């Protein structure tokens, strides 16, 4: 591969195995005597489980066992947990209903498991699961979060009257009220953030192997954070003590957040493996994925923005209802609160902000973090408001934003966050230049001559990555710390293994992390292996989500590298009889500055392990570990601009151009960063125009397959994304990195909707902007123009 | 998927015999609908009789002033046929826009029309071109063949062997695809015969499957131009309505697609 340091567009080391079909995913794993699990799932959104008759299923060919929730609870397996405590504004803790991995009494969403069949083959298990007779007594269901809070609505959990989980607030309400009293202009909107299904390419899967002699479990699973999975499975679900449970997340085909959580199925596989004394595998099919993977977004908000006579924002008031589904998933409570409302200041100097968030139970699959998690909802709300306010006060959307940009750092917002560094004008300028903003009017006129409506829309986003420091998130209710760990093992011949607590499921860590070592020691990236995803190999780590593996995970590696470098230099100085301060490392060699004396990295590594001639008192070996806990969040930011053409006859929207100008701080591998942005933008465009997880009033999921759930495809997208980056270094971590994994999905939806609403001259558009919705609005505006 | 028995028929007679012997047999003619349905466990035929390897069901040939297409001819073969492109360009374009390349290389014309999915493309071409469907028992007109959503005049033991399309003076197909499935939300096939008569057939939008639009046909017979149909709308009453598009939206699409088809055919 070569020596590829920081900034090199190194090709991905992992791609050889992925594109030649040699990846090793959970479903590729087998074990002697393995049985297959198939779940019996509720067809009802809300029903009492009256009885479960498994006698016919038990007699079917190949069936080993039919297990139910009653047995699971009887064996002391714990309820699923929510790992972030939120308190309502009255100080009371959130109202949490019990979630059992298989439900013995009341099912609360379509697809919830009530029993599992273990059989010799997957087909036998499925056949037998279909033969389990479950008698249900149907109850009224509620799927709309706003309606769920009304008196008389069906109640999901006795712990949560009116289905209210919490009624939380942030900011200074009195200051906001004062700002509105003195406002020269108020912009008010109702804003919906549509519900999404995450759709990683690889569905969830688990293979649980119980060793009856050692009383030890091994779990292969599709996890973004295997150590957290082990911790939760052990400490809360009582499956096994930590040292008797090994969790391996091998190659994982995408997660987007949906594989952070510890779901019922992997718990049940572990428990069933012990009960049946055989390995148990479960692989989700795509329909199960739609029905049971945690969904994302689903907010209904009312937002008001106050501006003064000079068009400076003086206040922002937001009321949001967040649909959390039927149960509280692992980090669900934090998404519409600390990952959402803390970003409502955007890139703007807003002196007063108040947000009230009500989180609500409904008879739908649980909702949790999905690429961006809270920050897309905040960005969409704020950037729709900015565009709308600009139209209302008659200022260009760029001008209104520029007028209100934060320009001095650090900047303390009224909603917890303290922005450390940024240059918002720089990314706005770059994006406007890239799309030729000034030439838009001419392009619009040309499009009109072809009967097309052309529009342009901006989005200036900010987000927060590398959620931390641990003490701070702990004070806000987090149940875990949010640091990361690394160990750098130099082998006696000078090759290196890096053990990281981060987990790569598409991010390219095997390449970018190796580039850090290449940069530091001048070694070939092929001399470096990145080891991750196995709790028996790697020290405890927190995993990968929230765009944290650069800013937090790589910082831990840097800290460990600092220690390795220091020790290597001590050894080299000793061997070459030079002062430690005179040793430099370059091109894989340790040199004495100003002389021709040098040792190769291999020679120094070997010396560390032979230990024949080490400085007095030095321990042999060359292996160092580090834990890194950041001092602050990081704040990636940028401007996205979308230009569209709408066909008013059909409502079809074509994205003609999409430009992105991002500030991700230090970039290790620009090619991989571009890939992240491409994927993020595509998901954001998917949310804006195509994707919608829709339930009918009875709680049946209408979009449970790709026949109805519309994923973005190549021909839905612009011919190219034009990307640029502007670097302001993050002062909070040693590399100055900010994170790039979610920005595209966070920043793009409002750019798209702002562009379409600009094109059609109507602002009353919700996501996804389907052709029919756009056509309807075109009808209205055409009619209005005619009158 | 439930277990099933697969048979590869060597001739139409062989297929008929295999089908007659089966408890609950189904013809497999590309399987682009049947196999996904079976994978979802929504269908459980005891036997599948594959007709796609039967030589007499394959191929495209000129038959007087018509083109005869064997039932087991794939969409890709129809799309690539010089004969079809020359005589009925609208039909070649339609076939080239069905599903995706994988579907077009597996799916067949016989399989598609026998399934009569209300959102499938082919029914509009058969009706607009006044095609004749030949089975192992009889021949019947396209309009008699399609009898309703997923319904045809075929008997359980009847096998489509070929479809004959009279050449048209002008033909074109315009489809507005469902954004998710890419099936037609409204697909309009317009065909003008040498005598100036015009047929307009719509797929994707109707509750009962393919239907003709007589008002558009007569307007186009006197003036074959996009403007002739631009002001003609179909009633939304009998149109499909779902999360992707209301019946009113589909009605609009029928007019717009008709206009675009005429434009393409002109």
DSSP assignment of A626-647 equals EEE--SS-B--EEEEEEEEEEE
Residues of B in contact with A707 (CB under 8 A): 180-181
Under the banding of pLDDT at 50, 70 and 90, the label for residue A785 is confident
Structure tokens, B211: 């239907």
Show the DSSP H helices in A412-488 as ranges: 424-434, 440-449, 470-475
Backbone angles phi, psi at A566, to 5 degrees: -60, -45
Chain A residues contacting B, CB < 8 Å? Answer: 123, 126-127, 130, 287, 649-651, 690, 692, 694, 702-703, 706-711, 716, 770-772, 775-776
Q: Which residue has the tokens 């954001």?
A: A684
Condensed to tens digits (0 to 9), the pLDDT of residues A166-201 reads 999 999 999 999 999 999 999 999 999 999 999 999
Closest CA to A153 of A33, A323, A406: A323
Alpha-carbon torsion angle B154, B156, B162, B166, nearest 10:
0
Q: How far is CA A480 from CA A68, A99, A135, A732, in A?
A: 31, 20, 40, 21
Go through A107-132 and write b for each residue having 16 or more CB atoms within 10 A of its CB, e for each that does not.
bbbbbbbbbbbbbbebbbbbbbbebb
Residues contacting A445, CB < 8 A, separation 6+:
none
Q: For chain B, list residues with pLDDT below 70.
A: none
Report whether A94 contacts A334 (CB < 8 A).
no
Distance of alpha carbon B161 from alpha carbon A66, whole angstroms: 48
Beta bridge partners of A227: none
Condensed to tens digits (0 to 9), the pLDDT of residues A89-122 reads 999 999 999 999 999 999 999 999 999 999 999 9
The residue of chain A with its CA nearest to that of B246 is: A772
Residues contacting A655, CB < 8 A, separation 6+:
A642, A643, A644, A685, A716, A717, A718, A752, A755
Asked if pLDDT for residue A786 goes beyond 80, the answer is no
Determine the pLDDT at residue A170.
98
Closest CA to A747 of A439, A431, A507: A431
Share of chain A above pLDDT 70, in %: 100
Closest CA to A636 of A547, A733, A505: A547
Residues contacting A737, CB < 8 A, separation 6+:
A550, A551, A554, A555, A634, A664, A665, A666, A667, A668, A730
B1 shares contact with chain A (CB less than 8 Å): yes
Per DSSP (E only), the strands in B24-159 are 25-28, 47-50, 60-63, 66-70, 132-135, 139-141, 146-148, 151-152
Closest CA to A541 of A495, A494, A512, A509: A509
- Mutation to test the B interface, candidates A130, A650, A687, A691, most B Cβ within 10 Å: A650
Determine the pLDDT at residue A472.
87
Beta bridge partners of A283: A205
Asked if pLDDT for residue A274 goes beyond 80, the answer is yes
Distance of alpha carbon A124 from alpha carbon A36, whole angstroms: 8
Per DSSP (E only), the strands in A44-112 are 47-53, 63-68, 106-107
Distance of alpha carbon A662 from alpha carbon A684, whole angstroms: 15
Backbone angles phi, psi at A344, to 5 degrees: -75, -10
Asked if pLDDT for residue A461 goes beyond 90, the answer is yes
Report whether A336 contacts A322 (CB < 8 A).
yes
Closest CA to B212 of B198, B201, B228: B201
Distance of alpha carbon A397 from alpha carbon A455, whole angstroms: 13
Strand pairing report for B139-141 and A216-221? unpaired
Asked if pLDDT for residue A783 goes beyond 80, the answer is no
Structure tokens, B263: 């434009």
DSSP for A344-403? TTTTB--S-EEEEEEEE--SS--B---TTTTHHHHHHHHHHHHHHHHHHHT--HHHHHHH
Under the banding of pLDDT at 50, 70 and 90, the label for residue A1 is low
Distance of alpha carbon A601 from alpha carbon A157, whole angstroms: 62
Backbone angles phi, psi at A147, to 5 degrees: -65, -30
Determine the pLDDT at residue A741.
95
Mapped onto helix, strand or coil, the DSSP state of residue A188 is: strand
Report whether A222 contacts A259 (CB < 8 A).
yes
CA A351 to chain centre: 29
pTM of the model: 0.97
Strand pairing report for A652-663 and A721-725? parallel
Report which secondary-structure segment, H or E, holds A187: strand A185-196
CATH architecture of the domain A483-628 equals 2-Layer Sandwich (3.30)
Determine the pLDDT at residue B153.
97
Share of chain A above pLDDT 90, in %: 95
Please state, rounded to an integer, the average pLDDT across all residues of chain A: 96
B55 shares contact with chain A (CB less than 8 Å): no
Distance of alpha carbon A149 from alpha carbon A145, whole angstroms: 7
Determine the pLDDT at residue A260.
95
- Mutation to test the A interface, candidates B37, B249, B250, most A Cβ within 10 Å: B249
Distance of alpha carbon A58 from alpha carbon A285, whole angstroms: 23
Distance of alpha carbon A774 from alpha carbon A240, whole angstroms: 54
Rg of chain B in Å (alpha carbons): 18
Backbone angles phi, psi at B223, to 5 degrees: -150, 95
B8 shares contact with chain A (CB less than 8 Å): no
Domain A296-467+632-786 shares a fold with domain A483-628: yes
Average pLDDT for residues A631-658, to the nearest whole number?
A: 97
Q: How far is B257 from chain A (nearest CA, A)?
A: 9
| Binary contact (A775, B249; C-beta < 8 A) | yes
Long-range contacts, A70-75 (Cβ 8 Å, 24+): A70/A104, A71/A275, A72/A100, A72/A101, A72/A102, A72/A104, A72/A268, A72/A271, A73/A100, A73/A104, A75/A271, A75/A275
Average pLDDT for residues A526-540, to the nearest whole number?
A: 96
| Binary contact (B243, A708; C-beta < 8 A) | yes
Condensed to tens digits (0 to 9), the pLDDT of residues A39-68 reads 999 999 999 999 999 999 999 999 999 999
Determine the pLDDT at residue A784.
75
Average pLDDT for residues A674-687, to the nearest whole number?
A: 98
Distance of alpha carbon A13 from alpha carbon A710, whole angstroms: 32
Per-domain boundaries in chain A: 31-132+204-283, 296-467+632-786, 483-628
Of the candidates A702, A706, A772, the beta carbon closest to that of B246 is on: A772
Of the candidates B2, B181, B245, the beta carbon closest to that of A707 is on: B181
Residues of B in contact with A703 (CB under 8 A): 180, 243
Q: How far is CA A454 from CA A442, A449, A450, in A?
A: 10, 11, 10
Written out in words, the top-level CATH class of the domain with range A296-467+632-786 is alpha beta
Of the candidates B41, B180, B256, the beta carbon closest to that of A706 is on: B180
The CATH number of the structural domain formed by A31-132+204-283 is 3.90.1170.50
Distance of alpha carbon A750 from alpha carbon B223, whole angstroms: 46
Of the candidates B180, B243, B256, the beta carbon closest to that of A649 is on: B256
Condensed to tens digits (0 to 9), the pLDDT of residues A588-643 reads 999 999 999 999 999 999 999 999 999 999 999 999 999 999 999 999 999 999 99
Of the candidates A123, A126, A772, the beta carbon closest to that of B249 is on: A772
Condensed to tens digits (0 to 9), the pLDDT of residues A398-432 reads 999 999 999 999 999 999 999 999 999 999 999 99
Q: How far is CA A99 from CA A275, A325, A503, in A?
A: 21, 12, 27
Distance of alpha carbon A765 from alpha carbon A192, whole angstroms: 10
Taking CB atoms and an 8 Å cut-off, how many pairs form between chains A and B? 47
Q: Which residue has the tokens 């949001």?
A: A320
Structural domains of chain B sorted by starting position, each given as residue range(s) with its CATH number in brackets: 5-50 (3.30.43.10), 58-166 (3.30.465.10), 170-265 (3.30.390.50)
Closest CA to B75 of B48, B113, B49: B113
Asked if pLDDT for residue A650 goes beyond 80, the answer is yes
| Binary contact (A287, B249; C-beta < 8 A) | no
């Amino acid at each position: 591969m070569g020596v590829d340091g920081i900034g090199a567009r190194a090709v991905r080391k992992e791609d050889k195995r992925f594109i030649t079909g040699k990846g090793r995913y959970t479903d590729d794993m087998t074990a002697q005597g393995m049985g297959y699990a198939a779940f019996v799932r509720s067809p009802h959104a809300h029903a009492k489980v009256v009885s479960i008759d498994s006698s016919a299923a038990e007699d079917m060919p190949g069936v080993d066992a039919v297990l139910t929730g009653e047995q699971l609870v009887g064996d002391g397996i714990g309820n699923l947990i929510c790992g972030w405590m939120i308190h309502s504004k009255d100080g009371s803790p959130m109202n949490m209903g019990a979630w059992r991995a298989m439900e013995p009494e009341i099912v609360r969403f379509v697809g919830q498991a009530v029993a599992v069949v273990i059989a010799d083959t997957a087909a036998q298990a499925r056949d037998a699961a279909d033969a389990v007779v479950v008698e249900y007594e149907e109850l009224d269901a509620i799927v709309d979060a706003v309606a769920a809070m009304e008196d008389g609505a069906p109640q999901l959990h006795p712990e949560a009257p009116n289905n209210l989980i919490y009624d939380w607030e942030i900011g200074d309400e009195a200051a906001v009220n004062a700002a509105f009293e003195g406002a020269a202009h108020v912009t008010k909107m109702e804003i919906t953030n549509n519900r999404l299904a995450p759709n990683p390419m690889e569905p969830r899967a688990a293979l649980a192997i119980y060793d009856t002699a050692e009383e030890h479990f091994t779990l292969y699973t599709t996890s973004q954070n295997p150590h957290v999975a082990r911790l939760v499975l052990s400490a809360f679900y009582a499956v096994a003590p930590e040292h008797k449970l090994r969790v391996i997340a091998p190659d994982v085909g995408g997660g987007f957040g949906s594989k952070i959580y510890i779901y019922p199925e992997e718990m049940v596989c572990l428990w069933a493996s012990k009960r049946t004394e055989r390995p148990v595998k479960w692989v989700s099919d795509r329909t199960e994925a739609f029905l049971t993977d945690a969904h994302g977004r689903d907010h209904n908000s009312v937002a008001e923005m106050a501006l003064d006579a000079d068009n400076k924002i003086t206040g922002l008031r937001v009321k949001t209802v967040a649909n959390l589904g039927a149960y509280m998933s692992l980090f669900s409570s934090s998404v519409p609160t600390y990952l959402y409302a803390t970003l409502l200041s955007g890139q703007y100097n807003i002196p007063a902000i108040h947000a009230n968030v009500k989180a609500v139970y409904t008879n739908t699959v649980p909702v949790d973090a999905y690429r961006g998690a809270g920050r897309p909802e905040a960005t969409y709300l704020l950037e729709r408001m900015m565009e709308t306010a600009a139209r209302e006060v008659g200022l260009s959307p760029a001008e209104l934003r520029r007028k209100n940009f934060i320009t001095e750092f650090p900047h303390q917002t009224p909603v917890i966050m303290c922005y450390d560094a940024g240059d918002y004008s720089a990314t706005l300028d770059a994006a406007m230049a890239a799309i030729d903003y000034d030439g838009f009017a001419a392009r619009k006129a040309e499009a009109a001559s072809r009967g097309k409506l052309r529009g342009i829309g901006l989005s200036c986003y900010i987000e927060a990555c590398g959620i931390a420091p641990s003490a701070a998130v702990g004070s806000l209710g987090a149940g875990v710390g949010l640091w990361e760990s690394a160990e750098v093992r130099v082998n006696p011949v000078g090759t290196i293994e890096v053990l990281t607590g981060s987990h790569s499921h598409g991010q390219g860590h095997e390449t970018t992390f190796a580039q850090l070592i290449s940069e530091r020691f001048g070694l070939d990236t092929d001399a470096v292996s990145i080891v991750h995803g196995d709790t028996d190999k790697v020290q405890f780590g927190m995993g990968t989500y929230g765009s944290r593996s650069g800013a937090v995970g790589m910082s831990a590696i840097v800290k460990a590298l600092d220690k390795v470098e220091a020790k290597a230099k001590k050894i080299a100085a000793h061997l070459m009889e030079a002062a430690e301060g005179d040793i430099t490392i370059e091109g894989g060699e340790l040199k004495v500055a100003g002389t021709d004396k040098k040792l190769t990295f291999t020679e120094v590594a070997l010396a560390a392990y032979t230990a024949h001639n080490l400085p007095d008192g030095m321990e042999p070996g060359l292996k160092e570990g580090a834990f890194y806990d950041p001092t602050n969040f990081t704040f990636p930011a940028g401007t996205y601009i979308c230009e569209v053409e709408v066909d008013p006859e059909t409502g079809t929207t074509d994205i003609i151009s999409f430009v992105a100008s991002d500030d991700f701080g230090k970039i290790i591998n620009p090619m991989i960063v571009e890939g992240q942005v491409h994927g993020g933008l595509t998901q954001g465009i998917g949310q804006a125009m195509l994707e919608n997880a829709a339930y009918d009033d009875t709680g049946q999921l209408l979009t449970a397959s790709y026949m109805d759930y519309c994923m973005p495809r190549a021909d839905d997208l612009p011919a190219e994304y034009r990307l640029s980056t502007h670097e302001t270094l993050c002062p909070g971590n040693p590399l100055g990195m900010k994170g790039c994994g979610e920005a595209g999905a966070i920043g793009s939806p409002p750019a798209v909707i702002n562009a379409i609403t600009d094109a059609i001259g109507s602002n009353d558009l919700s996501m996804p902007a389907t052709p029919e919705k756009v056509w309807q609005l075109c009808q209205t505006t055409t009619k209005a123009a005619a009158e | 998927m439930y277990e099933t028995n697969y048979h590869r028929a060597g001739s139409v007679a062989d297929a008929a015999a295999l089908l007659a012997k089966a408890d609950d047999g189904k013809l497999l003619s590309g399987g682009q609908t049947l196999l996904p349905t079976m994978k979802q466990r929504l269908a459980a035929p005891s036997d599948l009789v594959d007709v796609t390897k039967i030589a007499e069901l394959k191929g495209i040939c000129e038959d007087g002033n018509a083109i005869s297409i064997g039932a087991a001819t794939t969409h890709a073969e129809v799309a690539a046929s010089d004969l079809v492109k020359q005589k009925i360009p609208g039909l070649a374009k339609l076939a080239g826009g069905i599903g995706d390349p994988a579907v077009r290389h597996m799916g067949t014309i016989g399989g598609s029309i026998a399934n009569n999915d209300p959102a499938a493309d082919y029914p509009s071409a058969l009706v607009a071109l006044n095609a004749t469907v030949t089975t192992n028992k009889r021949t019947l007109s396209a309009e008699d063949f399609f009898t309703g959503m997923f319904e045809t005049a075929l008997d359980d033991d009847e096998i489509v062997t070929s479809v004959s399309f009279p050449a048209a003076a002008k033909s074109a197909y315009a489809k507005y695809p469902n954004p998710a499935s890419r099936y037609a939300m409204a697909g309009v096939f317009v065909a003008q015969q040498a005598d100036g008569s015009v047929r307009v057939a719509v797929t994707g939008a109707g509750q009962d499957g393919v239907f003709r639009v007589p008002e558009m046909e007569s307007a186009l017979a006197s003036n074959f131009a996009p403007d002739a149909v631009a002001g003609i709308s179909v009633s939304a009453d009998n149109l499909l309505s779902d999360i992707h598009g209301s019946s009113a939206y589909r009605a609009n699409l029928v007019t717009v697609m008709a206009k675009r088809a005429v434009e393409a055919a002109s």
